[in-house]
Amino acid sequence: MKVGVFLYEGFQEVEFWYPVLRLREANVDVAVIGVQHGEASSSLLGYPVVPNVSLAQVQPGDFAALIVPGGNVAGIAENAAFLSFLKDADAKGVVLAACSQAASLLKNPKFVAKSADDVPALMRTLVKELKV
């Protein structure tokens, strides 16, 4: 099983790292997917993270679930490749989850955390859903 967590300029730290670390703790294969490029993206506080793969290197069907962390989503809200990827994933039945501001980018998110405080509950539910 593989889960993708998206990475973009201005991501919110807790909403990115909590899902990544919680899934890795459950021995899930986590791919950190660079939305804008395959290079490091900086968080809202300026901390850089390097993705494992770029969006162009993966397909929606590669994943059981995809998570979009919140943050400054303005930079990806108009990214046609990213939005198309999400639409394809939804059509393929991939479980979609979003945190705070990122929920506005998904047409049919199965799981939504309204704030960083809700991320632990989202992850408990998602882990149970994925049966890991």
Q: What mean pLDDT is reported for the chain? A: 96
pLDDT, one tens digit per residue, over 83-93 is 999 999 999 99
Specify whether the CB–CB gap between 24 and 30 falls below 8 A: yes
Domain annotation for the chain: domains and CATH numbers: 2-125 (3.40.50.880)
- Is the four-CA dihedral 56, 57, 62, 66 of positive or negative sign? negative
pLDDT, one tens digit per residue, over 93-108 is 999 999 999 999 998 8
Cα separation, 24 vs 11, in Å, equals 19
Residues 30-48, mean pLDDT to the nearest whole number:
95
